[in-house]
């Protein structure tokens, strides 16, 4: 019974024309596209945002296929790591142990890849090179690394350990989202393992130009 967490508490400064989360992307608000891509693979959706965004985002998600919960930032503008923490604390109040965390600006998410990340975190279907002694044990996280970069905002986490690790990192004044990961027992999903999934899944829309390019592709 996994959850999806969508981070939307940013200020869209590079986008520059209102909140990109609810921007109309080829006829559908961007966050709705993200949510719709997650619906087949999650049981509940948690949206992390500021209190002032809630109304517009709730409208964008009206009629959504899954229950939606809001996890409102107690303090705005604390960065994405605080958003992950706040979203995962809400997940802890659901039946879900694991959550896929994504940004609100990833309209090309591949649900098959999300499902696979859940499997890898749970320790099933694993071809785990780093721990041959116990390849099928469950993990605190499954994080894809399509390049040198860990895609920490496109990853599966066990809610409580990751939320705790984020709290510790925030208390230590750390803002890099990779830091809490290193406190966890995590699986890296990389190389050929990613070949059968859509590489566009990691794409995120930051500027007006990227938004228009995404619009064109979605209209094709």
Ligand X SMILES: Nc1nc2c(ncn2[C@@H]2O[C@H](COP(=O)(O)OP(=O)(O)OP(=O)(O)O)[C@@H](O)[C@H]2O)c(=O)[nH]1
Q: Counting contacts by CB under 6 A, is residue 78 touching ligand X?
A: yes
- Pick from 101, 140, 145: which is nearest to 123 by CA? 140
Contact 66, 44 (CB under 8 A): yes
Residue 14 vs 66, nearer CB to ligand X: 14
Q: Counting contacts by CB under 6 A, is residue 77 touching ligand X?
A: yes
Site string for Mg ion, 10-49 (x = CB under 5 A): x---------------------------------------
* Binding-site residues for GTP: 7-9, 20, 48, 73, 105
Residue number of the CB closest to ligand X reads 10
Q: How far apart are CA 27 and CA 65, in angstroms?
A: 18
> Rounded to 10 degrees, what is the CA torsion of 37, 95, 1, 144?
60
Q: Counting contacts by CB under 6 A, is residue 140 touching ligand X?
A: no
Segment contacting ligand X (CB under 6 A): 38-46, 77-85, 130-138, 193-201?
77-85
Residue 52 vs 77, nearer CB to ligand X: 77
Q: How far apart are CA 114 and CA 147, in angstroms?
A: 17
- Give me 63's structure tokens: 């009629």
């Amino acid at each position: 019974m996994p959850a999806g967490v969508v981070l939307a508490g940013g200020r869209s400064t590079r986008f520059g024309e209102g909140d990109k989360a609810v921007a109309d992307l080829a006829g559908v608000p961007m966050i709705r596209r993200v949510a719709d891509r997650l619906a087949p693979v999650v049981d509940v959706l948690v949206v992390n945002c500021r209190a002032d965004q809630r109304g517009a985002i709730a409208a964008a998600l009206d009629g959504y296929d899954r229950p939606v919960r809001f996890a409102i930032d107690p303090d705005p503008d604390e960065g994405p790591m605080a958003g992950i923490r706040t979203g995962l604390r809400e997940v802890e109040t659901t039946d879900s142990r694991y959550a896929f965390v994504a940004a609100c600006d990833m309209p090309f998410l591949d649900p098959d890849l999300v499902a696979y990340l859940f499997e890898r975190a749970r320790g099933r279907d694993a071809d785990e090179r780093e721990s041959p002694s116990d390849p099928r044990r469950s993990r605190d996280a499954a994080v894809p690394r399509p390049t040198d970069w860990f895609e920490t905002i496109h990853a599966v986490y066990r809610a409580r350990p990751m939320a705790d690790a984020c709290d510790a990192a925030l208390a230590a004044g750390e803002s890099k989202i990779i830091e809490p990961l290193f406190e966890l027992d995590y699986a890296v999903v990389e190389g050929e393992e990613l070949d059968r999934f859509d590489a566009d899944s990691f794409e995120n829309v930051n500027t007006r130009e990227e938004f228009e390019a995404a619009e064109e592709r979605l209209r094709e």
